[in-house]
Each structure stands twice: as structure tokens, then as C-alpha cells.
Homo-oligomer: A and B are copies of this chain.
Amino acid sequence: MLVVMSKRATPEQIDAVVAAIEAKGCTARPIPGGQRVAIGVLHNPGAMDAAYFMTFPGVKDAIPVTRPYKLVSREFQPKNTVVRIGDVSIGDGGLSVIAGPCAVESETQALTIARLVRQAGARMFRGGAFKPRTSPYSFQGLGEEGLKILARVREETGLPVVTEALDHEVFDLVERYADIIQIGARNMQNYTLLRRAGRARKPVLLKRGLSATIEEWLMAAEYILEGGNPQVILCERGVRTFAHHSRNTLDLSAVRVVMKESHLPVIVDPSHAAGRRDQVIPLSRAAVAVGASGLMVEVHHAPEEALSDGAQSLYPEQFDELCRQVQAISEVFRDPRKDQAARG
């Protein structure tokens, strides 16, 4: 924290701030400048509240200097975290594609799609059993029945499965069936759920909240790591801005900032960002080109009959083309031996 005093601050006002800093058990270091004094706050045990200092007379500004997260920080752990599920690795420099329908609708549907996406190059299968829906009147997912179908898909196809845990009540159930447990964007700051995820023995895929800053996103991951689970994959899925021409605004620079700031792998979900099928392939190419560790894409063999999000689901042949293109793009600037989207 740096407390910047007004040019007109009196020595008494400066002393009062120094005293307040020391009362919090920190060291205050005044730095006289040309026109004003700034006071560095050193040895603070954790993040401090800038607003607190703003209320002192003579204070012009209070500027946080250090980040509030620790375990997720690259300063704490310089080496990349690699999340391994069977023979799939996320975060090792290669590219992993997760694909499947928005919601699991039936065993036939799930198996049909799983076989198609595996053949195209997907390394994991996604599908919702518990769906967070804006409207109480919409299809809410098959529940445990959906989880059983996912287990059957894994058995049949060998693909690890990713599915969402909507709350900590169903978390046990999801943890039993899934290979990766997803925490959705609307739950990014559901701290009870994050604490439960911290006690899980399986990797967690943590989506970015609709208006989460990178700091808030990493702090949510910090909850999971602090709870004892180091296996976290971050997923950028678009944020809310003034622009309404796509459902959300995909924030690809966030991928680079997270890569610099944290050792956790970050993937991109272009389907929820776009909300429309015709943008999914171009945005997937862009996500891979910016350097994401993977993609999570919605695919349906008959999107017009999908019970949810059909409009953003790719046709299988489109997903095929997507895999071909992103694989080729990845090879332009990455070590091809690490890429896992390759067929065969």
C-alpha cells in the first residue's frame, strides 16, 4: 500500500497516517517527494483496505501495491501447473480440446456426440447434468441420471468427462462421477462451493465470472488452492460489456495476463462467449492463436433439437474443421510434440 498525501497535507496529518499504519502492525515509511509526501506501508500481513486510508484528512490517494493472492501466483510458484487426467495433460504447452453438448439429454445423444468429437480430435467430453438456467421454467438437466450417462460415455469412449457442480450439495455426487468438476461463471464467487472444491480430490475447471476482474478470478482459485486442491484449470468464457452484438465479449488479453500472473493453465470457451454458431470457429482459432492451453466447445449432432443452447452448438463436421484449423494454428508457434488435439 502507498498512501499519497495531498500537497497541502500538514505534518500532523502525515503523522496521523503513520500512527494508523503502525497501529495495524505494519511499518510506515514516509517518502518525501518534490511536492508531496507519500507513505509506504511495509510488512503488512495481508491485503489492506485502501478505502480505510482514504478517510484520513490530508490523504489524496491510497494505492494497493501488492496482489492479494499468494498460492496461485507465479511469484509463489514459477513453474506451470500441469493438470493430468489419465493420459491428457492441460498446461504442459500443448493444446487440449474438450467438446460435447451443452446438456446431457440421453445416453444415445451423449454417446453419439462423444464418438463424433473423439474422432475429430477432442481429448475430453463435456456435458451438463445440472444446468444453471436464468429462468425457473427452462430445462434444468437430467441430474444424477445425466452423471450416470457421462460415466457410461467415459467407459465406452475412454474420454474423461467434465461436468458442472451447481452447488455444494450435489458436489459429492459430481465428484464421484466426473473427471473434472466445473464451477460455472455465476458461481465464481460462491465461496461455499469454492471451499468444497478445495477439499476435492479431482481437478476443478473454474470459469471466469461475467464481470470478474483477473484479480477476483485468481482470488477465487486461491480459495481452492488454499483448501488443499492444487489442480485448477481457469476458463475464460467472455465478459459482460456495453457491446451486445455477441452474447459476451471474449477477453483474449485476459489469457495472456493470467499466463503471466499465475502458474495455472487457462483455456477458452468460445461457445458461451459467442452464443451463435457462426462465431465459434473464428473465435476458437483466435483463442488458440493467443496461446490458450485448450478449448471447451459445444457440439451437437442435431443442434436444432437440442434442449439448450442449440444455437451455439457446432455441427460435427464443423467441429472436425475446427480441430483441423486450431491444430495447424497451434503448430505455428508451439512445440508440436506437445499438441494433443492431433488425431491418432
Interface residues of A (CB under 8 A from B): 2, 4, 6-8, 20, 29, 31, 33-34, 36, 38, 40, 42-43, 46-47, 49, 51-52, 54-55, 60-61, 63, 65-66, 68-69, 75, 78, 132-138, 166-169, 186-187, 189-193, 195, 210-211, 213-214, 216, 219, 222-223, 226-227, 239-247, 249-257, 260, 273-279, 282-283, 285-291, 303-304, 309-312, 325, 328-329, 332-333
Do residues A286 and B278 form an inter-chain contact, with CB atoms below 8 A? no
Instruction: Return the chain B residue nearest A32 by Cβ.
Output: B42
Do residues A282 and B276 form an inter-chain contact, with CB atoms below 8 A? no
Question: Which residues in B have their C-beta under 8 angstroms from that of A243?
Answer: 213-214, 239, 251, 254
Question: Which residues in B have their C-beta under 8 angstroms from that of A277?
Answer: 55
Do residues A55 and B135 form an inter-chain contact, with CB atoms below 8 A? no
Tell me what chain A mostly uses at the interface: helix, strand, loop, or mixed. Answer: mixed
For the complex with contacts A51-B275, A68-B134, A249-B253, 6 further pairs of A-B residues with Cβ separation under 8 Å are A38-B65, A167-B193, A186-B190, A211-B242, A245-B257, A250-B252
Do residues A61 and B65 form an inter-chain contact, with CB atoms below 8 A? yes
Q: How far is the CB of A252 from chain B (nearest CB, A)?
A: 5
Pick from B167, B241, B276: contact of A54, CB below 8 A.
Answer: B276
Between-chain CB contacts (< 8 Å), 6 pairs:
A31-B40, A47-B135, A51-B247, A63-B65, A252-B283, A253-B283
Report copies per complex.
4
Q: How far is the CB of A327 from chain B (nearest CB, A)?
A: 9
Do residues A2 and B211 form an inter-chain contact, with CB atoms below 8 A? no
Do residues B245 and A4 form an inter-chain contact, with CB atoms below 8 A? no
Question: Which residues in B have their C-beta under 8 angstroms from that of A241?
Answer: 239, 241-242, 249, 251
Question: Which residues in B have their C-beta under 8 angstroms from that of A134?
Answer: 68, 189, 216, 219
Do residues A135 and B219 form an inter-chain contact, with CB atoms below 8 A? yes
In whole angstroms, what is the CA distance A69 to B136 when docked?
9
Instruction: Return the chain B residue nearest A38 by Cβ.
Output: B65
Instruction: Return the chain B residue nearest A54 by Cβ.
Output: B276
Do residues A166 and B137 form an inter-chain contact, with CB atoms below 8 A? no
